[in-house]
C-alpha cells in the first residue's frame, strides 16, 4: 500500500475463538450440557458429526476437553500478548451462566470465570469481543422445548444476554448475538439446523418452514438483546454475525445470474432483518407461494426495527458458484445447486480459496446494509507437520492469510469500506466445529493434542505466529 493508503489507526487486529472449541471442562463449576457436548467427532468412515441423546461409551466427544483453555487461559493470553493481539474474540458458554437455559438466576461461578478472563485480557491491552451464542446453546432447551422453534427461548436468551451485558458492560464493548445464523440456509443438512437452532426434527416436519420459524425467533431474541444492551449502556455495540460466502453465477447466462441472485437473497435475508429491520419483499411472497405459516407475530415488526444491530460481524473462508437448475426454477437449494468454480483453488478440506471474494463481499455488505463490518473469522484449516526440532513451517497458512488481508486492505483503503477489525481464525489450534477434528488446524500456535484427546497439550509457535506479529506491529504492512 502506498503512504496515503494507510490502514486506519486503532484498527482491531485480533484473533477469534469459541468457547466450546477451546474451553473443555464441560462439567466444571456447575456448567450445564451444551449442544456441542452431545456431538460425537466425525471420522473418515463416519464423516458427519452425530448428535447422541446421551453420552455413549466408545464415541469421542472432543468438546469435552478441547484445549483446556478454561484453565490454561492465563498462559495462552501471555502468548497472545507477545503476538501483539489488540482484540480476542471469545464466546461466553451459555451453559456456564444458565446451565439448563431456563433458570431464573445466573450461576455466579460462571460469571466470575469470564470476569477473570476479561480482566486478564484487558491487563494485556487485548480487547475482548464477545459472541453470546456460538453453536453451544443448552441441550436442555433442545430436549425440553424443541430448540428455537419454541418462542419461549426468546425470554431465556434475553435473560442470558441481559445478565452478560449487566455484568460485563464496562469490560466488553463489542458483542454479537448468534454466530453464523445463516448457516441454516442449508436446512437440508440436519447438522446446520442443530448447530444454529437446536432443531432435531422428525421426518414429518417441514424442515424449511421450521428453519424460517426458528431463525425468526432467534432474530427477535437478537433484537431484544440489542435493545437491552443499549438501555444498560448506550456505548455498547451489538452485532449480527453472518457467514459471508459470495455465490457467483458460473457464467454470464441470464438464467445463471437469476439463480445466483436468488441464492444471495436467500442466504442473506437474515442480514436484511437484523441490519435493515424488516423482511425483504421477495421472501414475504415466497412464504405465501410455499403456503408457509408466517413466522412472526404482529408485535415483532416493531421489535425488529428498534433492535437493529450496530454492525455486522462476519466470517469469510470461501466463495461458492451456482448454475441454473435443469428445471429452470428460480429457487435456491444450497445442498444441491452449487457447482465447482474452476477459477479457484481448494483447501485440503475442499473449501474454495478466493481472496478477492473477501473484497467483493465487503463491498457488497457496505452497499446493501451501509453499516460497519468486522471480520471476526478468516483462516485456513490444514494439516501441520511438527519437524524434528519442534518447528512448524506453515507457509500455506501465511500465504492464505496474507492474500486475504491484502484484499481487505484494498476494500478499506481503495473502496472506502468501513471495517472495524480483522480477527483471524484462530490464534491457536482448536477443535473443528464441523468435523470435531483437531488435525484440521487453524492456529498460529500449535497445540499438541490429537483427535482422540491424546498429547501433552503443550503450545508451540508456528512460522505464521512471527508473520502475524509483524503484520500487527506494522498496522498491516504486507
Ligand atoms: C465457522 C464457525 O463456521 O467456521 C467456527 O463459526 C468454525 O466455529 C469455523 O470453527 C471453521 O470451521 P471448521 O468446521 O473447519 O471448524
- Report the atom number in ligand 1 closest to the C-alpha of 434: 14
* Distances from the Cα of 66 to the Cα of 29, 394, 417, angstroms: 17, 22, 36
User: Which set of grid coordinates corresponds to residue 135?
Assistant: 453453536
- Check residue 44 and give its pLDDT: 66
DSSP string, 17-74: --HHHH---TTGGG---BTGGGBPPP-SSS-SPPB-SSPPTTS--GGGTTT-HHHHHH
Q: Look-up: residue for cell 444450497?
A: 334
Distance CA 290, CA 269 (A): 17
Q: Pick the catalytic residue: 23, 136, 180, 218?
A: 180
Q: What is the full per-residue pLDDT of the chain (478 aa) written as tens digits?
A: 565 578 999 999 999 999 999 999 999 999 999 999 999 998 767 777 889 989 999 899 999 999 999 999 999 999 999 999 999 999 999 999 999 999 999 999 999 999 999 999 999 999 999 999 999 999 999 999 999 999 999 999 999 999 999 999 999 999 999 999 999 999 999 999 999 999 999 989 999 999 999 999 999 999 999 999 999 999 999 999 999 999 999 999 999 999 999 999 999 999 999 999 999 999 999 999 999 999 899 999 999 999 999 999 999 999 999 999 888 888 999 988 999 999 999 999 889 999 999 999 999 999 999 999 999 999 999 999 999 999 999 999 999 999 999 999 999 999 999 999 999 999 999 999 999 999 999 999 999 999 999 999 999 999 999 999 999 999 999 8
Q: How far is the CA of 434 from the centre of ligand 1 (A)?
A: 6
- Check residue 65 and give its pLDDT: 97
Which amino acids bring their CB within 6 angstroms of ligand 1? 18, 21, 179-180, 243, 315, 377, 381, 425, 432-435, 440
Considering only CA atoms, which residue is closest to atom 16 of ligand 1? 432
180 is catalytic: yes
- Check residue 48 and give its pLDDT: 78
**Which residues, other chains included, contact 44 with Cβ-Cβ below 8 Å and sequence gap of 6+?**
none
Of 136, 433, 438, 451, which is best to mutate to test ligand 1, by the most ligand atoms within 8 angstroms of its C-beta? 433
- Are residues 425 and 355 in contact, defined by beta-carbon separation less than 8 angstroms? no
- Report the atom number in ligand 1 closest to the C-alpha of 440: 15
Query: In terms of Cα–Cα distance, which of 469, 405, 426, 423 is closest to 7?
Result: 405
User: What angle in degrees, to the nearest 10, is found between the helix axes of 190-197 and 207-232?
Assistant: 20
pLDDT tens digits, 210-262: 999 999 999 999 999 999 999 999 999 999 999 999 999 999 999 999 999 99
Distance CA 93, CA 22 (A): 11
Which stretch of DSSP H or E encloses residue 99?
none
Of 16, 434, 441, which is best to mutate to test ligand 1, by the most ligand atoms within 8 angstroms of its C-beta? 434
Q: What are phi and psi of 170, to 5 degrees?
A: -80, -15
377 is catalytic: yes
Q: Pick the catalytic residue: 218, 334, 377, 409?
A: 377
- Check residue 303 and give its pLDDT: 98
- Check residue 3 and give its pLDDT: 52
Domains and CATH numbers, the chain: 3-473 (3.20.20.80)
Q: How far is the CA of 180 from the centre of ligand 1 (A)?
A: 9
User: Which set of grid coordinates corresponds to residue 29?
Assistant: 463449576
Q: How far is the CA of 318 from the centre of ligand 1 (A)?
A: 12
In 307-458, which ranges are continuous DSSP H helix?
Answer: 355-369, 395-413
Amino acid at each position: 500500500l502506498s503512504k496515503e493508503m494507510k490502514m486506519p489507526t486503532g484498527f482491531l487486529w485480533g484473533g477469534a475463538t469459541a468457547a466450546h472449541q477451546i474451553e473443555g471442562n464441560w462439567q466444571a463449576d456447575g456448567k450445564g450440557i451444551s449442544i456441542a457436548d452431545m456431538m460425537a467427532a466425525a471420522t473418515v468412515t463416519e464423516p458427519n458429526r452425530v448428535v447422541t441423546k446421551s453420552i455413549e461409551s466408545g464415541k469421542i466427544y472432543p468438546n469435552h476437553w478441547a484445549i483446556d483453555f478454561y484453565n490454561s487461559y492465563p498462559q495462552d493470553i501471555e502468548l497472545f500478548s507477545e503476538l501483539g493481539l489488540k482484540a480476542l474474540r471469545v464466546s461466553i458458554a451459555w451453559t456456564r451462566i444458565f446451565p439448563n437455559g431456563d433458570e431464573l438466576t445466573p450461576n455466579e461461578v460462571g460469571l466470575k470465570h469470564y470476569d477473570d478472563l476479561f480482566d486478564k485480557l484487558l491487563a494485556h491491552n487485548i480487547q475482548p469481543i464477545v459472541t453470546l451464542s456460538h453453536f453451544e446453546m443448552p441441550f436442555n432447551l433442545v430436549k425440553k422445548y424443541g430448540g428455537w422453534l419454541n418462542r419461549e427461548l426468546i425470554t431465556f436468551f434475553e435473560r442470558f444476554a441481559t445478565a452478560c451485558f449487566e455484568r460485563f458492560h464496562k469490560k466488553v464493548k463489542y458483542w454479537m448475538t448468534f454466530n453464523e445464523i445463516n448457516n441454516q440456509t442449508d436446512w437440508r443438512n440436519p447438522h446446520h439446523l442443530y448447530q444454529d437452532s437446536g432443531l432435531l426434527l422428525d421426518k414429518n416436519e417441514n424442515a424449511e418452514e421450521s428453519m424460517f420459524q426458528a431463525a425468526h425467533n432467534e432474530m427477535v431474541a437478537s433484537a431484544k438483546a440489542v435493545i437491552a444492551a443499549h438501555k444498560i449502556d448506550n456505548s455498547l455495540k451489538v452485532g449480527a454475525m453472518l457467514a459471508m460466502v459470495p455465490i457467483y453465477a458460473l457464467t454470464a447466462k441470464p438464467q445463471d445470474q437469476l439463480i445466483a441472485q436468488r441464492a444471495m437473497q436467500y442466504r442473506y435475508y437474515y442480514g436484511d432483518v437484523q441490519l435493515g429491520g424488516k423482511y425483504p419483499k421477495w421472501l414475504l411472497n415466497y412464504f405465501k407461494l410455499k403456503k408457509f405459516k408466517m413466522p412472526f407475530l404482529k408485535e415483532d415488526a416493531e421489535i425488529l426495527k428498534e433492535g437493529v444491530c450496530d454492525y455486522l460481524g462476519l466470517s469469510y473462508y470461501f466463495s461458492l458458484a451456482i448454475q441454473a437448475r435443469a428445471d429452470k426454477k428460480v429457487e435456491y437449494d444450497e445442498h444441491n445447486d452449487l457447482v465447482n468454480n474452476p477459477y479457484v483453488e481448494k483447501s485440503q478440506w475442499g473449501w474454495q480459496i478466493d481472496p478477492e471474494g473477501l473484497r467483493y463481499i465487503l463491498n457488497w455488505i457496505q452497499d446493501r446494509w451501509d453499516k460497519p463490518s468486522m471480520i471476526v473469522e478468516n483462516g485456513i484449516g490444514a494439516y501441520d507437520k511438527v519437524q524434528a526440532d519442534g518447528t512448524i513451517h506453515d507457509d500455506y497458512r501465511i500465504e492464505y492469510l496474507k492474500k486475504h488481508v491484502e484484499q481487505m486492505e484494498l476494500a478499506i483503503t481503495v473502496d472506502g469500506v468501513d471495517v472495524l477489525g480483522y480477527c483471524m481464525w484462530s490464534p491457536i489450534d482448536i477443535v473443528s466445529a464441523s468435523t470435531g477434528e483437531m488435525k484440521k488446524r487453524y492456529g498460529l500456535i500449535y497445540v499438541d493434542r490429537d483427535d482422540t484427546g491424546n498429547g501433552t497439550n503443550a503450545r508451540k509457535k508456528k512460522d505464521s505466529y512471527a508473520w502475524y506479529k509483524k503484520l500487527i506491529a506494522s498496522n498491516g504492512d504486507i
